[in-house]
Structure 1
Amino acid sequence: MLKQAKILLVEDEAPKREHIERLLRELRCSVEIMAARSVNSALDALENATPDLMLLDMSLPTFDAGDRENGGRPQGFGGAEILRFMRMAEISCPVVIITGYEGFAHEGGTTVDLEQLRQEWMLEFEGTLGSVLHYNSTYDEWKTTLSATLLELGLLDN
């Protein structure tokens, strides 16, 4: 069972957020989940309290939005902006990136696959980034990998 921990779940898509929360319940995790749906709300949450773990989407809107609002300019690498803020502000907690994308477009139009980005991010955010997972609601691989990551981080009992 997960030891009492605070998890900051940064995810703008309700179905994905609910899927992750459901997994935490299935694992019988005893956690306080703090939710953020945008870059700005994640930064606000981090300024108020440092979580024991952050589950972070990479593609996020700038601001929280209702179901019929767009939340401002979408940021394909909004999660990286949050990680850079953490480094600058010396906020330290383990982070797991959970993204539904298999690749991202860089400036100039080139596409970089998730494995290449994983390697870049693990170097850039060494010591903070625990893992980078590909989320796909159809397959359970992300659940297995996230469960193993939680165990590795010492947040799940054997």
Structure 2
Amino acid sequence: MTKKILLVEDDLPKLTQITEAVSANGIELTIAKSINEAIRKLDESVFDCVLLDMSLPTFNEGANVSSSGRQQDFGGRQILTYMWELEINTRVMLVTQLPGFKNEGGNEVKLKDLDTTLTNDFPGLYMGFTYFHHSTDAWAKRLKDFLEKI
């Protein structure tokens, strides 16, 4: 049975490594590089899971940097909120390389605290995170374990 995965990631090197890690027989991977593109793809298709970056631009990059909209530290949360409100019951795993994120007040929210908040705010939807780092493959093992369970 083919598993349909939506990968929401705007960083090309990270996107490439994640794609290589999850590519296997029976995996159909769809990629979105912005908040708006991810929402459009969620509206167009049903996925078995979403691999989600937290810090994302509003739009895909266009002819110049400003055309992609501002980078939003909690862009991934916007996607989770959209899914929650529309009752899109697709399990989500956060894949991040950042130890924390700036909230709207400019204060840093540590990844561990964000994980707790997302678990409480999106029960049954948000399934946890893996901390991505180019020099280790622990994140890839965690992703594969997650994908085996869906």
TM class by shorter-chain length? Answer: over 0.9
Deviation at 1:130, TM superposition (A): 1.4
Residue 147 of structure 2 aligns with which residue? 150
In structure 2, list runs of 5 or more residues that go unmatched: none
CA RMSD of aligned residues (A): 1.5
Candidates 69, 73, 90, aligned match of 1:72: 69
Distance in structure 2 (CA, Å) of the matches to 1:56 and 1:108? 23
- Which region of structure 1 is more displaced relative to structure 2, 109-118 or 80-89? 109-118
Alignment partner of 1:115 is 2:92: no
Q: Give the count of matched residue pairs.
A: 149
Alignment partner of 1:30 is 2:32: no
Distance in structure 2 (CA, Å) of the matches to 1:62 and 1:107? 15
Q: Which amino acid aligns with 1:92?
A: N
SS at match of 1:43: helix
SS at match of 1:50: coil
Deviation at 1:68, TM superposition (A): 5.0
Equivalence map 1:1-158=2 (5 Å) = 3-25=1-23, 28-66=24-62, 68-70=64-66, 71-151=68-148, 153-154=149-150
In structure 1, list runs of 5 or more residues that go unmatched: none
- Contact between 1:54 and 1:94, CA under 8 Å: does it hold in 2? yes
Deviation at 1:19, TM superposition (A): 0.4
Percent identical pairs in the alignment equals: 36
Change (3 A) 1:4 1:90: same
SS at match of 2:139: helix
Deviation at 1:106, TM superposition (A): 1.9
User: Stretches of 4+ moved more than 3 A in 1?
Assistant: none
TM-score, length-scaled by structure 1: 0.88
TM-score, length-scaled by structure 2: 0.92
Distance in structure 1 (CA, Å) of the matches to 2:135 and 2:58? 28
